[in-house]
C-alpha cells in the first residue's frame, strides 16, 4: 500500500524539469505511489537516465522536452500517446530565472525578459494546450503548475521572474474554469527552496532566510513535492487554487 493510501497504480504522470530539484522529487513521489512517470528533461539527459534507474515500479521513461520548442512538445505528446494513450497527471516544473537586482532596470534587457516569460509562461501553456486531449482521455486528471510566492510578494530573483509567476497563477485560474470537470488545475507556490535553481544562492543564505520565517526551517524539494502530491491525490474538490510552501515566509 502506498504511503499516502491513495494509489496511483495505472496512472500516467509527466513531469517537466524532472531531472533536478522539485521536478525530480515529484517524479520520485509519483512513482512511489504507483504511477508510470515520464521524466522530461531539457539538457540533463544523464541525470534523467540516472533517475529512471532509481524509480520504484515500472513503466517509467525519459523524454527530451524543451518547453520553448513547439516541435519538442509535439514529439513528447506523440511519444506519450504511443506509449500510454492518455495522461493523468501533468506537473509543469520546468522554469528559468536569472538573478537581477530589482533596481537595475537596465540589466533586465528585452532578451532576458522575453526568455523568462517564454520559459515560465508560454512554455507551460503550450504544454497544457498540446496535452489537453490526452489529459481528457485520462478522466479525472490534474495539472500542477510550479509557481512561486514571488507571484504575489513581488520579491524574487528578478522583476521578470515575479511577473512570470504571477502570469502563471492567473493562467492557472483561467484554465481551471475551462478545463473542468475532466481536468483540475492547481498551482504550488514555494518560497526559497534548497535547489540550485537560483544561481549563487547557497545553503548558508537559505538558512539565514529560514530564520526569518515562523517555522525557521529551510524548504526542501521534497516539501514542495508533497504539496504537489496533495493536489494529485487528496484535493479532489479543489481547482484554480494555489498552495504556499514557504515555511511561513510570506507571513514574516
Q: Measure CA of the first residue to CA of the last residue in the chain; give whole Å.
A: 39
Cα angle 229, 27, 15; round to 5: 95
Q: How many other CB atoms are found less than 10 A from the CB of residue 9?
A: 10
Cis amide leading into 181 (omega within 30) = yes
Question: What is the distance, to the nearest Å, from the Cα of residue 160 to the centroid of all Cα atoms in its chain?
Answer: 18
**3-class DSSP assignment, residue 12:** strand
CA-closest candidate to residue 79, choices 29, 128, 42, 134: 134
Residue 161 falls in the annotated catalytic set: yes
How many Å apart are CA 247 and CA 219, to the nearest integer? 7
Q: How many other CB atoms are found less than 10 A from the CB of residue 89?
A: 27
Which is catalytic among the residues 6, 41, 161, 242? 161
Provide the 8-state DSSP code for 118: I
* Residues 241, 184 contacting (CB under 8 angstroms): no
* Residues 229, 243 contacting (CB under 8 angstroms): no
How many Å apart are CA 39 and CA 149, to the nearest integer? 25
Residues noted as catalytic: 161
Amino acid at each position: 500500500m502506498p504511503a499516502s493510501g491513495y494509489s496511483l497504480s495505472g496512472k500516467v504522470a509527466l513531469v517537466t524539469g524532472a531531472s533536478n530539484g522539485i521536478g525530480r522529487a515529484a517524479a520520485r513521489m509519483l512513482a512511489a505511489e504507483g504511477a508510470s512517470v515520464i521524466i522530461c528533461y531539457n539538457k540533463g539527459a544523464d541525470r534523467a537516465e540516472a533517475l529512471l534507474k532509481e524509480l520504484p515500479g515500472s513503466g517509467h521513461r525519459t523524454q527530451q522536452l524543451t518547453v520553448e520548442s513547439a516541435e519538442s512538445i509535439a514529439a513528447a505528446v506523440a511519444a506519450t500517446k504511443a506509449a500510454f494513450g492518455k495522461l493523468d497527471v501533468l506537473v509543469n516544473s520546468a522554469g528559468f530565472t536569472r538573478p537581477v537586482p530589482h533596481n537595475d532596470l537596465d540589466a533586465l534587457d528585452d532578451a532576458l525578459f522575453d526568455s523568462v516569460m517564454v520559459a515560465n509562461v508560454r512554455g507551460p501553456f503550450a504544454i497544457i494546450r498540446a496535452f489537453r486531449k490526452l489529459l481528457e482521455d485520462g478522466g479525472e486528471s490534474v495539472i500542477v503548475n510550479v509557481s512561486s510566492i514571488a507571484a504575489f510578494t513581488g520579491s524574487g530573483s528578478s522583476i521578470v521572474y515575479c511577473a512570470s509567476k504571477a502570469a502563471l497563477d492567473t493562467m492557472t485560474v483561467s484554465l481551471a474554469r475551462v478545463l473542468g470537470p475532466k481536468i483540475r488545475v492547481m498551482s504550488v507556490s514555494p518560497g526559497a527552496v534548497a535547489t540550485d535553481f537560483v544561481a549563487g544562492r547557497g545553503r548558508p543564505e537559505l538558512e539565514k532566510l529560514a530564520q526569518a520565517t515562523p517555522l525557521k526551517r529551510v524548504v526542501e524539494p521534497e516539501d514542495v513535492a508533497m504539496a504537489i502530491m496533495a493536489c494529485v491525490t487528496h484535493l479532489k474538490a479543489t481547482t484554480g487554487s494555489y498552495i504556499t510552501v514557504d515555511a511561513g515566509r510570506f507571513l514574516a
